[in-house]
Amino acid sequence: MKRILFVFLILMAGQALHAQETTRIWIVRHGEKDLTDPKEKDPELSAEGKERAETLVKYLKGKKIDALFSTDYKRTRGTLTPLASQRNLGLKFYNSKDNKALVDTILNDYKGKNVVICSHSNRILGIIAAFGATSPLKEITEQEYSHIFLLEIKGDRVKLKHQHYGKL
């Protein structure tokens, strides 16, 4: 009987520890886009955008990354490609209009892991809100590319940190 109780307590302690794991989610906007063709609906990254993508690799140096989420646009894919190549990770695509599905996927499949999401200026604040955090920003304009947000989720607590990376 003591053995059964001991095994039960070990299993419960393991579950409690697993429940308290911290999930870290970095959220960035894609790098600067090539605007040479105003009719192009899905532009590539500009030279500055490619430089920002490389800067993201340097910014996350030393951080274990388990998954990379991108919308299926050239500029978001291009922003995460250097990081994906360096870390030998594939990109996971999500629908930028369905934040609930993105949140559910990350919180269910990547609990306790580190994830990077690359999105668009008009979608980032909605993603942050969908995870239960409040951004210090009211909007991200079309000219702003340097914001990086870190969500740390542990149990029901959500902490948000806001910084900049690359050129402002």
Task: Please give the pLDDT value at position 26.
Answer: 98
How does DSSP assign the chain, residue by residue? Answer: -HHHHHHHHHHHHHHHHHHTPEEEEEEEEPPPB--S-TT-SS--B-HHHHHHHHHHHHHTTT----EEEE-SSHHHHHHHHHHHHHHT--EEE--TT-HHHHHHHHHHHSTTSEEEEEE-TTTHHHHHHHTT---S-S---TT---EEEEEEEETTEEEEEEEE-S--
* Average pLDDT for 16-28: 80
pLDDT band, residue 83 (cuts 50/70/90) = very high
70, 112 in Cβ contact below 8 A? Answer: no
* Average pLDDT for 38-48: 97
Q: Span 22-164: which CATH code?
A: 3.40.50.1240
pLDDT at residue 11 is higher than 60: no
Q: How far is the C-alpha of 43 from the C-alpha of 82, rounded, in Å?
A: 18
pLDDT at residue 40 is higher than 90: yes
Task: Please give the pLDDT value at position 5.
Answer: 47
Q: Identify the sign of the CA torsion 159, 148, 132, 136.
A: positive
